[in-house]
């Protein structure tokens, strides 16, 4: 398996596939390596809403300001400009792959066809035929069309470096239980987010274990604003099988919906659909921390007032067509699904705004290493607006793919260090199963770094992370080779511990509440003084090196 590529994209969600296609169109030899089949990840779970630029009634400036203001001025203006400037082209490219954005009844993308997603001042959001599932079918097809090398069920366990440059990946083929090194002149990290660190209180896919943050960090890249982990206000609380699953962003409340606490007091009444995710969650969190909650620890979402108004009914039908709250039907039944009965909701971890620091073309500070998609930070600042994640992954996936191909074309092939043989992963003896520690870490993160954080809790959390890390050394993996997910758990546990430490470290440093980051001990925003990015990097001695920079919003 010494075969080398010009560009290897790690992760087969939207960003990874877009980067691979871009690089392949430049004539580069490209592979996608993904621990799931290609065309999955959070992209598969998306509602398929994608913000687009250049639609009638919209302006470039309005879009840019919406994203920067929504992000509470932590975003990087250069990235946001690139996002907006590339949005229409990215949407068009998806259609050329076979994806379909839903038109009006005449077949046009008129104002009737687009919607206004949460936090946007204009209607600029396209809807997808087949939601994220349809989107991913088209993406898979694009991979086939471009003759891209596919390594599915393959987990990347390390970035391989030589003379300061990234020159390949170490991979674990889960299907066969084989470890090997794959050479690459450039690597594009497209591993998505880390919502699974908070399971079950997350909307995310099983594979969103934050691997990319840890891989980049270990390779010497910088990470920005890792404390900014978005919870989305509405997730179901029961049955346990579905706890934490997404059932809507603020738009779900319609114009007239209200939220009540466990004592039956109305805490938000009407207009929730015009609030940002962060603002709604912040209001809900206050009640939850104070313990004024319902039977399953959540609050009550009452959408009935919408049924008395025409625009309220319209909102319901549209959101239902979009498929935003499908899970409410099996979770709470028909009446709730029809908005005729209130139901219990709890915010759930949805998106990592922070991530690997990169420029508009995905370049990190490590030569040969690029990043795109949710794993990259700096676009959304402290809060992501609805439907902008898909725009982000496709715009920056494309740009990073082009830049990686160009870099590969001008850089001499670096041989990855001699093939790292079997690392003794399979059959390693140990008293604890990795999944036990994974679950312990997840519970810890929701408790100490979930909705509201404070200094004591974060310090406790960091100590507990050290303790789990020590135990991880004693975890065992069975010797079974074929699709042994204990091996994946073991490696993911390592990534999760690193990513968790980065999130908590940044959360401790930001002594204010801003965007998704709420501090019980610093409940107010720090204003302009805190319009700063927190940048983390691995120091020579293995500790976390922290610094702050004035944001470039």
Partner 1 sequence: MKDHTIIIVRSLPEGGRKKEKFTVPLQPGATVLQGLVHIYDTVDSTLAFRYSCRYNHCGLCGISADGRPRLACKTKLETTEEVAPLANLPILRDLAVDRTRYYSRFKGMRLYPEGDAAEPLGHLVEESLHRNLMGCLECLCCVASCPSHSLSDVSFGGPYLFVKLAQLHLDSRDRTDRRAQAAEKGLARCRECKKCRCPNGIDLHGALEALNK
Ligand X SMILES: Cc1cc2nc3c(=O)[nH]c(=O)nc-3n(C[C@H](O)[C@H](O)[C@H](O)COP(=O)(O)OP(=O)(O)OC[C@H]3O[C@@H](n4cnc5c(N)ncnc54)[C@H](O)[C@@H]3O)c2cc1C
Which helix (H) or strand (E) element contains residue 403? helix 388-410
Sheet strands (E) in 439-553 = 532-538, 544-550
Site for ligand X in 460-519 (CB under 6 A): none
Site for ligand X in 367-386 (CB under 6 A): 373-375
Residues 6+ apart with CB under 8 A from 147: 24
416 within 8 A of 160, measured Cβ to Cβ:
yes
Taking the C-alpha atoms of residue 553 and residue 79, their distance in angstroms, rounded to an integer, is 9
Q: How far is the CB of 347 from ligand X (least distance, A)?
A: 14
CA angle 475, 480, 482 (to 5 degrees): 120
With CB under 6 A as the contact rule, which of the stretches 4-12, 79-87, 308-316, 463-471 interacts with ligand X? Answer: 4-12
Quote the radius of gyration of the chain (alpha carbons, Å).
Answer: 22
Please identify, using beta-carbon distances, which residue of 298 and 397 lies nearer to ligand X.
Answer: 397
Determine if 32 is a binding residue for partner 1 (CB under 8 A).
no
Determine if 13 is a binding residue for ligand X (CB under 6 A).
yes
Tell me which of partner 1, ligand X, none is bound by residue 526, counting a contact when its beta carbon lies within the kind-specific cut-off of 5 to 8 angstroms.
none
With contacts defined by CB under 6 A, how many residues of the chain interact with ligand X? Answer: 41
Structure-token pair, residue 350: 């949805």
The two counts, helices (H) then strands (E), for the chain are: 14, 21
Site for ligand X in 243-282 (CB under 6 A): 246
Structure-token pair, residue 40: 């999955």
Residues 6+ apart with CB under 8 A from 46: 131, 132, 135, 389, 390
Tell me which of partner 1, ligand X, none is bound by residue 53, counting a contact when its beta carbon lies within the kind-specific cut-off of 5 to 8 angstroms.
none
CA angle 24, 29, 34 (to 5 degrees): 85
Q: How far is the CB of 311 from partner 1 (least distance, A)?
A: 25
Q: Which of 53, 201, 204, 282 binds ligand X (CB under 6 A)?
A: 204
Structure-token pair, residue 429: 């003896």
SS3 118: coil
Determine if 207 is a binding residue for partner 1 (CB under 8 A).
yes
Which residue in the shown chain puts its C-beta closest to ligand X?
13
Give 221's Cβ-side CA count (13 Å radius): 33
Q: How far is the CB of 456 from ligand X (least distance, A)?
A: 31
With CB under 6 A as the contact rule, which of the stretches 20-28, 203-211, 308-316, 506-514 interacts with ligand X? Answer: 203-211
For the chain, the 3-state helix, strand and coil shares in percent, each to the nearest 5, are 40, 20, 40
Tell me which of ligand X, partner 1, none is bound by residue 137, counting a contact when its beta carbon lies within the kind-specific cut-off of 5 to 8 angstroms.
partner 1
Nearest alpha carbon to residue 279 among 119, 122, 120: 119
Structure-token pair, residue 453: 């954080």
Taking the C-alpha atoms of residue 311 and residue 316, their distance in angstroms, rounded to an integer, is 9
Determine if 200 is a binding residue for ligand X (CB under 6 A).
no
Please identify, using beta-carbon distances, which residue of 47 and 187 lies nearer to ligand X.
Answer: 47
Site for partner 1 in 292-331 (CB under 8 A): 326-327, 330-331
Structure-token pair, residue 468: 């789990």
Q: Which of 4, 28, 35, 337 binds ligand X (CB under 6 A)?
A: 35
Determine if 302 is a binding residue for ligand X (CB under 6 A).
no
Please identify, using beta-carbon distances, which residue of 133 and 267 lies nearer to partner 1.
Answer: 133
Nearest alpha carbon to residue 14 among 73, 81, 97: 97
Q: How far is the CB of 156 from ligand X (least distance, A)?
A: 4
Structure-token pair, residue 78: 């250069």
Determine if 14 is a binding residue for ligand X (CB under 6 A).
yes
Q: Which of 5, 67, 93, 403 binds partner 1 (CB under 8 A)?
A: 93
**Could you list the residues that contact ligand X (CB under 6 A)?**
10-16, 33-36, 40-43, 45-50, 155-156, 190-192, 203-204, 207-208, 211, 246, 351, 373-375, 387-390, 393
Where do contacts with partner 1 occur on this chain (CB under 8 A)? Answer: 36-37, 40, 44-45, 52, 88, 91-93, 95-98, 100-103, 107-109, 129-134, 137-138, 141-142, 144-145, 150, 152-153, 175, 205-207, 238-242, 245, 326-327, 330-331, 433-436, 439, 478, 480-486, 489
């Amino acid at each position: 398996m010494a075969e080398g590529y010009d560009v290897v994209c790690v992760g087969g969600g939207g960003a990874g596939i877009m980067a691979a296609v871009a690089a392949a169109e430049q004539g580069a030899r490209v592979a996608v390596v993904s621990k799931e089949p290609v065309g999955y990840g959070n992209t598969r779970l998306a509602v398929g809403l994608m913000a687009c630029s250049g639609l009638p009634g919209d302006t470039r400036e309005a879009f840019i300001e919406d994203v920067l203001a929504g992000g509470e001025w932590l975003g990087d203006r250069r990235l946001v400009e690139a996002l907006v400037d590339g949005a229409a082209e990215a949407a068009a490219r998806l259609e050329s792959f076979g994806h379909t954005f839903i038109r009006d009844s005449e077949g046009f993308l008129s104002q009737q066809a687009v919607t206004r997603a949460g936090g946007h001042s204009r209607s600029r959001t396209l809807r997808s035929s087949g939601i994220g599932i349809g989107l991913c079918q088209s993406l898979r097809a694009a991979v086939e069309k471009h003759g891209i090398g596919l390594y599915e069920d393959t987990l990347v366990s390390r970035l391989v470096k030589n003379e300061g440059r990234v020159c390949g990946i170490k991979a674990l083929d889960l299907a066969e239980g084989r470890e090997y090194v794959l050479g690459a002149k450039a690597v594009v990290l497209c591993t998505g987010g880390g919502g699974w660190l908070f399971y079950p209180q997350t909307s995310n896919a099983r594979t969103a274990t934050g691997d990319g943050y840890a891989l980049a960090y270990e390779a010497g890249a910088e990470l920005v604003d890792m404390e900014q982990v978005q919870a989305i206000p509405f997730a179901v609380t029961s049955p346990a099988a579905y706890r934490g699953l997404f059932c809507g962003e603020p738009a779900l409340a319609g114009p007239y919906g209200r939220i009540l606490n466990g004592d039956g007091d109305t805490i938000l009444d009407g207009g929730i659909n015009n609030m940002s995710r962060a603002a709604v969650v912040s209001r809900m969190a206050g009640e939850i921390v104070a313990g004024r909650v319902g039977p399953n620890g959540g609050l009550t979402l009452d959408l009935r007032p919408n049924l008395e108004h025409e625009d309220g009914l319209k909102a319901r039908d549209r959101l239902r067509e979009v498929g935003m709250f499908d899970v409410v039907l099996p979770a709470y039944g028909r009446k709730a699904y029809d908005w005729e009965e209130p139901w219990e909701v709890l915010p759930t971890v949805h998106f990592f705004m922070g991530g690997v620091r990169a420029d508009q073309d995905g370049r990190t500070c490590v030569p040969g290493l690029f990043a795109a998609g949710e794993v990259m930070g700096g676009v959304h600042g402290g809060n992501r607006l609805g439907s902008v994640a898909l725009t982000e992954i496709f715009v920056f996936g494309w740009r990073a793919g082009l830049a990686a191909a160009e870099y590969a074309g001008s850089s001499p092939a670096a041989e990855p260090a001699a093939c790292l043989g079997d690392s003794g992963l399979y059959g390693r003896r140990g008293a604890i199963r990795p999944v036990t520690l994974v679950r312990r870490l997840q519970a810890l993160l929701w408790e100490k770094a979930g909705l509201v954080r404070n200094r004591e809790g974060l310090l406790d959390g960091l100590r507990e992370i050290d303790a789990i890390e020590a135990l991880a050394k004693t975890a065992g993996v069975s010797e079974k080779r074929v699709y042994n997910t204990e091996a994946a758990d073991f490696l993911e546990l390592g990534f999760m511990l690193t990513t968790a430490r980065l999130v908590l470290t940044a959360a401790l440093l930001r002594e204010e509440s801003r965007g998704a980051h709420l501090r019980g001990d610093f409940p107010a925003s720090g204003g302009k003084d805190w319009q700063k990015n927190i940048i983390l990097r691995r120091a020579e001695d293995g500790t976390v090196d922290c610094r702050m920079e004035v944001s470039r919003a």
